[in-house]
Amino acid sequence: MAKGRVDIDVDRCKGCELCREACPQNVLALADDLNGKGYRPVILLDPLHDCTGCALCAVVCPDGCITVYRDVPQKTPKKEPVLNGKSLSLAV
Amino acid sequence: MVMLAPNQQQTEKLIYERPHSLEEVYTHYCPGCTHGIAHRLIAEVIDELDIQERTILVAPVGCAVFAYNYFAFDSAEAAHGRAPAMATGIKRVNPDSIVFTYQGDGDLASIGIAEAIHAASRGEQLTVIFINNAIYGMTGGQMAPTSLLGQVTTSSPTGRDAQATGQPMRIAEMMAGLPGVVYSVRRSLHDARHVIQAKQAIKTAFEAQMQGLGFSIVELLSSCPTNWGMSPADAVHWVRDEMIPVYPLGDYKVAEALQNKRGRN
Ligand SMILES: Cc1ncc(C[n+]2csc(CCOP(=O)(O)OP(=O)(O)O)c2C)c(N)n1
Ligand code: SF4
Ligand code: SF4
Ligand code: SF4
Ligand SMILES: [Mg+2]
């Protein structure tokens, strides 16, 4: 599954938690500290890198606080396509 | 995004960012109020259609009274309920502009119902974004024409009673009956899937105006956690469980020229 991350504007976040409700990966949490407006903003708490960059949190945020990034898969050496142990490379 | 040194591979790509047509300011809306989602969707559509330079908002009286501070395009502020009349004048003298009103249910369905119906009936080249939150939010939660039967508000303390105040008013269905209307649909802002559908409808409504087809309106079921006395999450569940049965989502009128386009359920 794709990997991603979100950047949350904690100064404008109102801690409504609609993003938390929407997140399928359960990687958003309320911060312990208050922001300048007196709200507990939401932060990304994702030690296992479970965020998929699906952007569902950003879609429901009423305050447009969330920017979403998705990891670009790094180039890995190509695996040869095989069928029944035989290489398919020449079949094309 | 991270700056990349030459030959360095890009490690991540931007998937979603705030639309440019929305000013990067703090809004006065209560936490979790879906007015904010509606604002963001409109701004995204205006960015995508690349019409920021020629768009003019006519803002209402209601919680969205400061909407002109939040959008990064021109706007005007109308007296309560009069946005469609003001928008008519603005559009007629600037026919190349894209003019839309943003109105609550008190603003549009109550004090401004005459202006809304007549602008629609005349087939003005306008787009209306209609925020149905079943209440007068700004003034402290009085009953709106769209309040549900039995709904407790500050002016219906024992619940809305049909005998005394009639039935909830279904604006999208009503507007569809007027020949000047080319697009009348209802969507909801209660979860991500429906928010995406709402955006598609807003886009189609603006496209109707860009094509000069006539009057377009998108009714959006929206939450008011503060005056409903609920958490933001409970409020969007109330939209889903209580409002949608009374206000079915759907396309009540889609002119032929707009069919097979975005905005369908
Ligand atoms: C002529 C006039 N009458 C009454 C008011 C008081 N007033 C302000 S906002 C409002 C209702 C707003 O409700 P709605 O349009 O549903 O917007 P919401 O706040 O729910 O988004 C009323 C009655 C006013 N400002 N002007
Ligand atoms: S992008 Fe998806 S997985 Fe990541 S925080 Fe947002 S909702 Fe959760
Ligand atoms: S939805 Fe937006 S405003 Fe609400 S808690 Fe999440 S980031 Fe903050
Ligand atoms: S009073 Fe209701 S409609 Fe107005 S900003 Fe607060 S939650 Fe939104
Ligand atoms: Mg209202």
A58 touches chain B (CB under 8 A): yes
Confidence of residue A79 (pLDDT cuts 50, 70, 90): low
pLDDT-based confidence at residue A92 (cuts at 50, 70, 90)? very low
Give residue B265's pLDDT.
44
| Segments of chain B with pLDDT less than 70 | 1-9, 261-265
The residue to mutate among A46, A52, A59, A71, having the most atoms of ligand 2 within 8 angstroms of its beta carbon, is A52
Task: Enter the tokens of residue B243.
Answer: 């409002």
- Residue A75's pLDDT band, with cuts at 50, 70 and 90, is confident
pTM for this prediction = 0.93
Q: Say which CATH number the domain at A52 has.
A: 3.30.70.20
Residue A13 lies in a domain: yes
In a domain, residue A50? The reply is yes
CB–CB contact B32 A18 (8 Å): yes
Residue nearest to atom 3 of ligand 3 (CA): A13
pLDDT level of residue A74 (50, 70, 90 thresholds): confident
Please count the structural domains in chain A.
1
ipTM of this complex prediction, to 2 decimal places? 0.93
For the domain B35-147+165-258, what is the CATH code?
3.40.50.970
Query: Which stretches of chain B sit within 8 Å of chain A by CB?
Result: 1, 9-19, 22, 26-27, 29-37, 40, 191-192, 195-196, 225, 231-233, 236
Nearest ligand 3 atom to the CA of A60 is: 1
Domain encompassing residue A15: 3-71
Confidence of residue A86 (pLDDT cuts 50, 70, 90): low
Please tell me the predicted confidence (pLDDT) of residue B245: 98
